Amino acid sequence: EIMMTQSPATLSVSPGERATLSCRASQSVNSNLAWFQQKPGQAPRLLIYGASTRATGIPARFSGGGSGTEFTLTISSLQSEDFAVYYCQQYNNWPRTFGRGTKLEIK
Amino acid sequence: QVQLVQSGPEVKKPGTSVKVSCKASGFTFITSAVQWVRQARGQRLEWIGWIAVGSGNTNYAQNFRERVTITRDMSTNTAYMELSSLTSEDTAIFYCAAGHYGDYWGQGTLVTVSS
């Protein structure tokens, strides 16, 4: 099973600033990585797939990068609605596995 | 529009089973895949398993393999997840997500396991 490690566990950033979240896989997942956003009381929402392709309707301030074992999610200018928990998931190997999440909070 | 509507909350006794449904509309269900995810209160997302709707092929996480069954009914565009031998640790929200990448998500189903 591929382990997904996200860092940091919590990230405090001010609105308007840039946030960079990291996700590391225990072995290569090529570019088969997705990012999800989850707000309290809501289901997760797909942001990025293929490591860098934005899902339908996702604002351009969200960007994904990386391949192999190291990935990043960058939010270029944080809006109030972006404060949430973010999960990465690999779908290169069975079973699909999630990271433990990064909580993005207002500084 | 795309919708995944899950069945309502369940309260179960330890040792029993629960079957959660996930009805799809607004997209071509037969060419899709559905994954199921568990989330205990305040905890991480935990992948349970997956079904390719057209073929019926499934894949399960090791932690759930012996007690989970994922099925689908193409005539009603509905996927199901049945989990047996419930314990208090299964108290959680269960989500279905359709699409190759988890593009669409249901609203979640709260399953409470309590004696």
Per-position DSSP letters for A75-92, written without gaps between them: ESS--GGG-SEEEEEE-S
B108/A87 Cβ within 8 A: no
Report the pLDDT averaged over residues B9-35. Answer: 96
Report which of A67, A36, A94, A105 is spatially closest to residue B48, judged by C-alpha positions: A94
Q: Closest-CA residue in chain B for A103?
A: B44
Which of A1, A34, A98 minimises the CB distance to B101?
A: A34
Which of A34, A49, A101 minimises the CB distance to B44?
A: A101
pLDDT for position B113? 98
SS3 B31: helix
Report the pLDDT averaged over residues A1-29. Answer: 97
- What residues in chain B have their Cβ under 8 A from chain A's Cβ atoms? 35, 37, 44-47, 49-50, 59-62, 95, 97, 99-103, 105-108
CB pairs under 8 A between A and B: 56
Report the pLDDT averaged over residues A25-30. Answer: 98
Cβ–Cβ under 8 Å, residues B79 and B34: yes
Confidence category of residue A84, pLDDT binned at 50, 70, 90: very high
B95/A44 Cβ within 8 A: yes
| Phi then psi dihedrals of residue B31, to 5 deg | -95, 10
Most A CBs within 10 Å: which of B57, B101, B107, B109, as the mutation test of the A interface? B101
Q: Closest-CA residue in chain A for B62?
A: A95
Confidence category of residue A94, pLDDT binned at 50, 70, 90: very high
Cα-based distances in Å from B31 to A72, A93, B25, B34, B55? 30, 20, 13, 10, 9
**Angstroms from B45 CA to nearest CA on chain A:** 7
Alpha-carbon dihedral angle through residues A52, A57, A62, A67, given to the nearest 10 degrees: -10
Confidence category of residue A42, pLDDT binned at 50, 70, 90: very high
pLDDT for position B59? 97
CA B109/CA B9 separation, integer angstroms: 5
CA B58/CA A89 separation, integer angstroms: 18
Confidence category of residue B27, pLDDT binned at 50, 70, 90: very high
Which of B35, B101, B108 minimises the CB distance to A43?
A: B108
Confidence category of residue A45, pLDDT binned at 50, 70, 90: very high
